[in-house]
Amino acid sequence: MINSIELGNFLSHAETKLNFGKGVTVFIGPNGSGKSGIIDAITFALFGQHTRKSNKGLIRRGENQGYARINFSINNKMLQATRKINLQGTLSSQFLQKTDEGWTPIAEGERKQFGESMTRKIEEVIGLDFEKLKIASIVRQGELNSIIKAKPKEFKELINAVIGIDKLDISSENLKIVLKNFRETILKEFGYDDSHIDMLKNEIKEKELEIKKNKPIEEKLEEEKLKQKKEISILKKKIEEDLPKLDKIKQLESRKLELVKYAKDAIYSIQKEISEKERKIHDCEGCFEHLDEKKRIEKSLEMAELAFKETGKKIQEYKMEIISLKEQLSLAKKLHLENGKCPVCDSKVNHLNPLFQEDHLAVEQNNIKKKIVSLENQNEMYEKKKQEFSNVFQQIIEDETTLRAHSINDIEEIDALKNEISLQKINIQKIPSNINSGLLVEVGSIDSHSKLLYEKIMELENETSNFDKNSFSALRNSLDDKQLELSETDQKLGGILEKIRNAKEVVDKNMLVVKELVFVKDYVIQINEIQENLFNRDGSVATSLRSWALHTISAKASEYLNMLNTKIQRIELSEKIRDVSITCYSKNTILDIESLSGGEQVSIALALRLGMTQLLGSSNLNFIILDEPTMFLDEERRKSLVKVISQLSDITNSLNSTLQFIIITHDSEIFEDSSVEQIFKFESTDNGTIVTEV
């Protein structure tokens, strides 16, 4: 049960603390005085949730932070939940338990990533989450009477919410996601899912028909291919038989060409040899003219060179004498007798030595010059002779070199060369000037090698005499045509085999895939059946849950109605196809709800609410908040509501029950004569909401 609620700068409350007892507690006051804020304080302190737009809207205007604290007891344990919020939106929370040592923390904060959550801990302790608490314990404005005024379909949805059928919807959606992911996995692995089974089967049939259609074509092409291979084999055998003859034909042509080429080369060689011999004769024929005079010419050349040297020596001696005479003449010009005396020693002299006489020296000088001229003429003659003999001697040397180069020793060898040339020219004249295969006999007589070639040619001609080159060529062309036909047949057969192979691959692959997809389909069907039976709102599980819930609510509601001493002894909730109906019994008589009094209708509504609360786990935190329960009720039903609540308060007190009622209303006058003792009055002031106990 709730023991106390404390608010600090929370909504319109500056500082409010309310202590609760057992039974019924009433909040009275005008609209906007802060009564409904108590509901937000309870849900915020416990779960951090509320009906306002944002957390910051919970802070009282003008303040920096606010908080809500609730003290409650479960199974004799004193517990406290506090949550705070500041203007930055920062939340702090603490969940405590009272022990002998004081208040001990159980959980703090909402660090869910670390496995820490005060909200989760409170849900475990209370046994309810925020959504279930709203259904079980908080009856909003206008909802009390709507439970019996609601249409049967709407009442069914309320029952679904009470027992958590909406969770089946979540499970159903999760199962759909699982099924979707499963199908996507199958599609990714196989390229298909169970929806493609019929398509794959049709494709298998198409490919099987394609295989059946192409099989006869394959067999026909195989037969045609076998026939073409036999024909090719026969042609190849014939060609292989004639192929050596073709090779001999090629050899024959090659030999003929070789003989013709050899003949041409032989003629060219002979002609070249004749030319060489003629050049040798030309070079050597005149070389024997001076060979016999070699020694004489050599001796004459030596004598001419010796005479040339001697003459040159004498010329040089005479030239030295001229130089000496010139010096003497220079001296003679200086020596003159004066008065018959020597110009040097001044002795008496009759005449000068001829060596110092100018005339004598001039005559001597002229005589020597004449000798020099005569000797130079001789020397020139010797020079010419020497040159002539040298030229002849050089020619003899060159002639010897030429003869030695041509290996000619005497004139008889020249004559022998002339005879050889004459014979070779006669032989060349025998060979046709225009050599061809028709003149091979003549060509074969050139020499022994040409004769050997000619004989080989004759042998090859005999061996290939019955070979028709045109027929052989036609045979090969026929083989090429047959091979081309075989290649085309192979291509056609390959295309058909490729189609059959591809079709078989598709059939084999699709059959394996279909086999797997059949299992997949069975699995999907089972999942759909599970979804239909377990998670469908109208499935067997949901129907069973509702049946149990309706029975439980009916039983609990009937107990409360009996406590209230109404004429209604029993109430029964029953499910039809699409709705839930409420049937009231007075003993065995069925009573129409519309015929009941206002008080009886309020009793039924409260009894049903209490039954729902018991269904949702009333063993932990048992309280019901009725927010403006008199809204939309007429005067009679307002009075009936107060009477029923007073009775419930008396009943719970007498049974020592911990069930609490918190009633929020602006109709304060309806509780003036009631037995409800704990009434809090809410007033709105400039300093916030003020709460006083009446």
Q: Is 293 exposed, middle or buried (0-12, 13-18, 19+ CB in 10 A)?
A: middle
Asked, for residue 49, whether it belongs to a domain, the answer is yes
Q: Is the CB of residue 581 less than 8 Å from the CB of residue 148?
A: no
Q: Is the CB of residue 194 less than 8 Å from the CB of residue 168?
A: no
pLDDT of residue 473: 87
Q: Is the CB of residue 87 less than 8 Å from the CB of residue 59?
A: yes
82-86, 180-184, 329-333, 637-641: least confident range = 637-641
Q: Is 503 exposed, middle or buried (0-12, 13-18, 19+ CB in 10 A)?
A: buried
Q: What confidence tens digit (pLDDT) does each residue in 196-248 have?
A: 999 999 999 999 999 999 999 999 999 999 999 999 999 999 888 888 887 88
Please state, in angstroms and as integers, the Cα–Cα distance from residue 67 to each residue in 23, 47, 93, 656, 669, following that order. Answer: 27, 13, 9, 33, 32
pLDDT at 619 exceeding the cut of 50: no
Q: How far apart are CA 603 and CA 622, in angstroms?
A: 19
Q: Is 448 exposed, middle or buried (0-12, 13-18, 19+ CB in 10 A)?
A: exposed
Please tell me which residue, 79 or 463, carries the higher pLDDT value: 79
- pLDDT, average across residues 266-275: 83
Task: Tally the domains of the chain.
Answer: 2
**Which residues lie below 8 Å from residue 502, measured CB to CB, with a gap of 6+?**
none
Asked, for residue 21, whether it belongs to a domain, the answer is yes
pLDDT of residue 7: 94
pLDDT at 108 exceeding the cut of 80: yes
Q: Collapse the DSSP code of 625 into the 3-class scheme (helix H, G, I; strand E, B; otherwise coil) and give the result.
A: strand
- The closest alpha carbon to 633, from 662, 610, 674, 605, belongs to 605
Q: How far apart are CA 415 and CA 452, in angstroms?
A: 33
Among 122-131, 153-162, 646-655, the range of highest mean pLDDT: 122-131
What b/e sequence results for 344-372 when a residue is b if at least 16 CB atoms lie within 10 Å of its CB, and e otherwise?
Answer: eeeeeeeebeeebbbebbeebbeebeeeb
Q: How far apart are CA 200 and CA 194, in angstroms?
A: 10
Last residue of a domain, one of 407, 426, 461: 407
Query: Residue holding tokens 């209604």?
Result: 568
pLDDT of residue 149: 64
Q: How far apart are CA 289 and CA 399, in angstroms?
A: 9
Q: Among residues of the chain, what percentage have pLDDT more than 90?
A: 21
Q: Is the CB of residue 67 less than 8 Å from the CB of residue 82?
A: yes
Largest distance between two CA atoms of the chain = 223
pLDDT at 268 exceeding the cut of 90: no
pLDDT of residue 658: 60
Last residue of a domain, one of 360, 377, 407: 407
Q: Collapse the DSSP code of 436 into the 3-class scheme (helix H, G, I; strand E, B; otherwise coil) and give the result.
A: coil
Q: How far apart are CA 54 and CA 69, in angstroms?
A: 19
What b/e sequence results for 295-306 when a residue is b if at least 16 CB atoms lie within 10 Å of its CB, and e otherwise?
Answer: eebeebbeebbe
Output Rg (C-alpha) for the chain, integer angstroms.
75
Indicate which CATH number applies to the domain containing 28: 3.40.50.300
- pLDDT, average across residues 428-436: 63
- pLDDT, average across residues 338-365: 64
Q: Is the CB of residue 580 less than 8 Å from the CB of residue 612?
A: no
Asked, for residue 554, whether it belongs to a domain, the answer is no
Q: Is the CB of residue 558 less than 8 Å from the CB of residue 540?
A: no
Between β-strands 688-693 and 678-685, what pairing exists: parallel, antiparallel or unpaired? Answer: antiparallel
Return the structure tokens found at 106: 């159980």
Last residue of a domain, one of 353, 374, 407: 407
pLDDT of residue 212: 94
**Which residues lie below 8 Å from residue 96, measured CB to CB, with a gap of 6+?**
79, 80, 81, 82, 103, 104, 105, 106
Asked, for residue 626, whether it belongs to a domain, the answer is yes
Q: Is the CB of residue 139 less than 8 Å from the CB of residue 627?
A: yes
Q: Among residues of the chain, what percentage have pLDDT more than 70?
A: 84
Q: How far apart are CA 163 and CA 135, in angstroms?
A: 10
Return the structure tokens found at 24: 């019924």
Asked, for residue 388, whether it belongs to a domain, the answer is yes
Q: Collapse the DSSP code of 675 into the 3-class scheme (helix H, G, I; strand E, B; otherwise coil) and give the result.
A: coil
pLDDT of residue 618: 45
Return the structure tokens found at 234: 């026969």
pLDDT of residue 564: 66
Q: What confidence tens digit (pLDDT) does each residue in 516-564 have?
A: 999 999 988 888 888 777 777 777 777 888 788 888 888 888 887 777 6
pLDDT of residue 439: 57
Asked, for residue 616, whether it belongs to a domain, the answer is no
Phi, psi of 384 (to 5 degrees): -65, -45
Q: Which amino acid is at 225?
A: K
Asked, for residue 121, whether it belongs to a domain, the answer is yes
Q: Is the CB of residue 602 less than 8 Å from the CB of residue 641?
A: yes
CA torsion angle for 626, 631, 632, 638 (degrees, to 10)? 80
Q: How far apart are CA 689 and CA 685, in angstroms?
A: 6
Q: What confidence tens digit (pLDDT) does each residue in 291-315 have?
A: 777 778 888 888 888 988 988 899 8
Indicate which CATH number applies to the domain containing 313: 1.10.287
The dihedral sign for the CA sequence 241, 246, 247, 248 = positive
Give the domain range for residue 348.
291-407
According to DSSP, residue 512 is labeled H
- The closest alpha carbon to 120, from 337, 307, 111, belongs to 111
Q: Which H or E element spans position 694?
A: none
Asked, for residue 481, whether it belongs to a domain, the answer is no
Q: What confidence tens digit (pLDDT) does each residue in 378-410 have?
A: 888 888 988 888 888 888 888 888 888 888 888
Return the structure tokens found at 339: 């008065």
- The closest alpha carbon to 366, from 321, 432, 412, belongs to 321
Average pLDDT of the chain to the nearest whole number = 82
Angle value at C-alpha 77, between 75 and 81, nearest 5 degrees? 120
